[in-house]
Chains A and B, each alone.
Chain A
Amino acid sequence: MCGLDDLVLERGAAALVDGEQIALFRVGEREVLAVQQLDPYSGAQVISRGIVGSRAGAVTVASPMYKQVFDLRTGRCLDALGREPQDLRTWSVRVESDVVMVAADDLEAAAVPGTDGTDRTDGTDGCAGSAGSAGTVRAAAR
């Protein structure tokens, strides 16, 4: 996908995988999280440009458009600001010798909705914004 150094700590960046846009966030020296780039509330591909933060312990991003807040690990919408909560799809990410990789095999798993909210692969749970594309995208990760 990219080198770890291409990512700024505590900020997001967009990546393009087979036409699918993914938002990568470097939230620790060696920790990177990935969610969909599509903001379900505005329909624009902008999530990577939001501000990273925390809410009650969860690592979050606030959409730069209308400021809804999402949990970066689970994709869950934590503050819908009065709208219907819509979650983000997530991908699992590995960092190996300073190379960031998004798991391709994750996409099949992603078709099964997670239940406990801690599983990093439960991205489709309520993922209304990604227009039903979950599970159909092929991520050429490496």
Chain B
Amino acid sequence: MSPLPQQLVVVGGGMVAQRLVEALRARDEAGRWHVTVLAEEPRAPYDRVALTSYFSGRDPESLSLGSPDLWGDPCVTLVRGRSVIALDLAARTVRSDDGTVRGYDRLVLATGSRPTVPPIVGADLPGVFVYRTIDDVAALRGWVEERSAGLDRPVRGAVIGGGLLGLEAAGALQALGTRTTVVQVGSHLMSAQIDLGGGHVLRRLITRLGVDVRVDAATARIRANDRGQVGRLELADGERIDVDVVVLATGVTPRDELARAAGLAVGPRGGVVVDEACRTADPRVWAAGEVACIDGACLGLVAPGYAMAEVVVDRLLGGSAVFPGADTATKLKLSGVDVASFGDAFARTPGALELVHSDPAAGVYKKLVLSDDARTLLGGVLVGDASAYAGLRPMVGRPLAGDPSAHLLPAGSGAGAPGGDLPDDATVCSCNNVTAGTVRAAVTEHGCIDVAGVKACTRAGTSCGSCVPLVKRLVGDELLRAGVAVNAGLCEHVALSRAQLFDAVRVTGLRTFSEIMRRHGTAVAGRGCDICKPVVASILASLDDGHVLDDERAALQDTNDHVMANLQKDGSYSVVPRIPGGEVTPEGLLAIGQVALDYGLYTKITGGQRIDLFGARLEQLPEIWRRLVDAGFESGHAYGKSLRTVKSCVGSTWCRYGVQDAVALAVRLELRYRGLRSPHKLKLGVSGCARECAEARAKDVGVVATDRGWNLYVGGNGGFTPRHARLLAEDLDTESLVRTIDRFLMYYVRTADRLQRTAPWIDEVEGGLDGVRAVVLEDSLGIAADLDAAMARHVEVYEDEWKATLDDPVKLRRFASFVNAPSTADPSLAYVAERGQVRPATPTERADPAVLVAGTTLAVRS
């Protein structure tokens, strides 16, 4: 071996290149190799699998892979923004597009694939995009934003191709506010992964997201509008679809051009042919990732690419690893639509048996493929509920314990493969090739005590994330076995989860913080902290509805709850009076306007159909409430972890399409649930017909009118991780609807974790949405009467917190600006004028008194 390091050159700087360099640097301790990565994209390798998350506001940085230190390693050189244009096998050199020629001792082609552009006339028009790189999605987003700014209607989009990528792209377009149609040539969506039965159910689920689907639909041409941009799709059957943007997702083509030109063999459908060691016919040249044609096929998934990278590294270091075969299991990454396919999903094994459970109404299709003796799991398809995926996938090729059909029942119904059964050598995380044994050892041998630790230690669950539930279960089981209590505790003072604490407090009937801490807290419980105190306050509020400022409880509240207003960035507060259902009289509007005027408050209409008044000082809050209460308003609870608003459309009283009185229902619901304290904020919505103008399905509880009653959707969340609400029940009459919502909300209030919104809570309830349905509609736990009674008590004892405070001089003392100067305004507040109102001054503006306005220090006119 020569004393100097040998030169390894990697062409392509994608996910597989990254893994290869990482593995090499981890294993080549002697520094035998210097590796140079030649990357065409202008950035270091990034997480292409998570590309779509770029739309949810994440910056390119958050897509970065592995440790950034890797690229600073002296044994590693990364050349960005340069493509390799020629490979000379005889001279052992590669040439880049800037003319640089580099020699190599060993070469790895990791050039991935390019999106296939179908030969359709018009596929090159402005507004037609592919979906492969950060630059692609950035351009797509820019286009949609620009188009939507110039249009007074939603942008219309189409995705050509209804596979994994097409559906992901459709979801992304939809999230950008585009009205989207998916055009699929084949008989059903995701035809490469799932069968026709699954495809039918999937189509219903996709349609429910508001995405139109055309199957058996070939695009004949793409026409331009009068500005030369994409304007219309023409399908082979004559249908025309008007579009402002098109995404092509019709598959990928391996980037084997360098190898072809150099005379290396390529596969029948492209791809550099390699043997089981990932080596080409030239012993100095390897190929790995999507560009490699191994066992006669190219693999469009990252897991086999990673496996190839590991094989190449092992070989470079003198090992004899071979490619273990591909795990082609996949899971659709589209929020609200669960689809997974694994193993022999199409039952191609001779004698294979198929076990199918299909419930199109509920939107669920599940199929297991078993060996001819119905014992060994060969593969499966899960649509609508893929919760069993993480547990079943590692069992492929192994006998299933018990009755296989039990695995098709909803999760949590007592069946499903528990983590404990999993053999140690079963792969749990196929992206990073981590076995159950490795996860267990992380706990037993490396001292990891939670999922985060195990993820960091083993890398399990750090790529696509679909195995995280299984990792969580394995870790939990292992900790339990080791006698370590699984730490679901809130903080150092309370070792219980919120749900456990709720139950404990309900049963013991304790009602003060000190008693609760003495009984249910840890040894150091004493004074609690900013985590457990508000939790206890919320639990107590749910259990007996005492006033939030009563006695000792006042000390538990977060400042927002403490002063019943929303803290803003400069230390002032905003005030939101309740406007139930968004219905307000002109007199009411005038009264609010007058208060805003008198106190110089910045006024803005909220997304929840009410009015937010900003810039109120602590000591002004009671006076402002007094004015609002006198005008007939009450607290809107905009500050609390509690019911916020019930948004509604105008419904059948005015709207020509409405089929039910949406406003009346919204007002009724808002008055019923006002003041209900919960683990996180709660929003409701009611629409008067299926056009859904109130966007109710973006709410925790969404009600949509039908000809026969109301459809009830639950679990819609905005925020960080937006989720569409899912259908809980159909065509309910008003009384059953209200009872069902009562139970749903109370069940959530009692059992959710701290700061857990309804969507993730539903995912965690045993059985998911089906489990929730069983509890609230079928009373499967026998707690319905209890939940009903709890809600009835909430409704009965509700009182307006603002009014109650105004009536109590002791509570009013807490609104002093300074103990030694109770009505002196905070001298640090400073405002500037903008668009006719005030806003907090920036630090630079503060320095210049000329731009400051008097703001809320205006004298009150009366």
Contacts and interface: CB of A to CB of B under 8 A. Distances in A.
B493 interface: yes
A30 interface: no
Interface stretch (B94-102, B214-222, B247-255, B814-822): B814-822
Interface in B517-569: 524, 526-534, 552, 554-560, 562-563, 567, 569
A53 B567 contact: no
Nearest to B562: A49
Interface string A24-52: 10010000000000100011111001111
A41 B533 CA distance: 23
Contact of A53 (B533, B557, B560): B533
B843 A14 contact: no
A2 B554 contact: no
Given A53-B529, A60-B529, A44 B569 contact: yes
Contact of B570 (A8, A24, A44, A52): A44
Contacts of B824: 16
B555 A8 contact: yes
A4 to B, nearest CB: 11
Contacts of B786: none
Given A15-B818, A55-B529, A62-B530, A21 B826 contact: yes
Contacts of B570: 43-44
A93 B817 CA distance: 20
B721 interface: no
B492 interface: yes
Highest count of chain A CB atoms <10 Å: which of B529, B557, B560, B824: B529
Contacts of B555: 8-11, 51-52
Contact of B529 (A27, A43, A51): A51
Interface in B203-244: none
Contact of A49 (B524, B567, B843): B567
Contacts of A64: 558-560, 567
Given A8-B814, A64-B558, A64-B567, A13 B527 contact: no
B530 A45 contact: no
B827 interface: yes
B820 A2 contact: yes
A46 B571 contact: yes
B2 interface: no
Contacts of B320: none
Contacts of B827: 16, 19
Nearest to B513: A10
Interface of B is mostly: loop
A51 B534 contact: yes
Given A2-B820, A13-B819, A44-B571, A52 B527 contact: yes
Interface in A84-141: none
Contact of A14 (B528, B534, B556, B818): B818
A19 to B, nearest CB: 7
B493 A54 contact: yes
Contact of A57 (B524, B528, B817): B524
B67 interface: no
Given A42-B569, A44-B569, A44-B571, A10 B820 contact: no
Contact of A7 (B493, B818, B819, B826): B819
B530 A51 contact: yes
Contacts of B813: 6
Nearest to A47: B571
B508 interface: no
Nearest to A53: B529
B530 A65 contact: no
B77 to A, nearest CB: 32
A77 interface: no
A77 to B, nearest CB: 14
Given A2-B820, A14-B819, A53-B529, A8 B571 contact: no
Nearest to A16: B818
Interface in B310-358: none
A96 B493 CA distance: 33
A65 B570 CA distance: 9
B559 A16 contact: no
A54 B526 contact: yes
Interface in A52-79: 52-57, 59-60, 62, 64-65, 67, 69
Interface string B471-485: 000000000000000
B844 interface: no
A51 B828 contact: no
Given A21-B828, A43-B843, A50 B530 contact: yes
Given A49-B559, A51-B533, A1 B820 contact: yes
B559 A24 contact: no
Highest count of chain A CB atoms <10 Å: which of B492, B533, B571: B571
A45 B819 contact: no
Contacts of A54: 493, 524, 526-529
Given A11-B555, A19-B827, A44-B570, A53 B527 contact: yes
A16 B826 CA distance: 9
A7 B826 CA distance: 19
Contacts of B524: 54, 56-57
A59 B527 contact: yes
A65 B571 CA distance: 8
Highest count of chain A CB atoms <10 Å: which of B533, B814, B819, B826: B819
A2 B813 CA distance: 13
B754 to A, nearest CB: 13
Contacts of A51: 529-530, 533-534, 555-559
B819 A55 contact: no
Contacts of B828: 21, 38, 44-45
A46 B567 contact: yes
B830 to A, nearest CB: 11
A8 B551 CA distance: 10
B526 A16 contact: no
Contact of B492 (A9, A13, A55): A55
A140 B533 CA distance: 35
A51 B527 CA distance: 10
Contacts of B571: 42, 44-46, 65
B825 to A, nearest CB: 10
Highest count of chain B CB atoms <10 Å: which of A1, A44, A51, A55: A51
A114 to B, nearest CB: 24
A60 B531 CA distance: 12
Interface of A: 1-2, 6-11, 13-17, 19, 21, 24, 27, 38, 42-46, 49-57, 59-60, 62, 64-65, 67, 69
Given A7-B819, A50-B530, 12 more contacts: A1-B820, A8-B554, A8-B814, A14-B818, A19-B827, A45-B571, A45-B828, A49-B563, A49-B567, A53-B527, A64-B558, A67-B530
8 contacts: A1-B820, A10-B527, A14-B817, A15-B818, A16-B820, A42-B569, A54-B524, A64-B558
A-B CB proximity, top 5 nearest: A53-B529, A62-B530, A44-B571, A64-B559, A10-B555
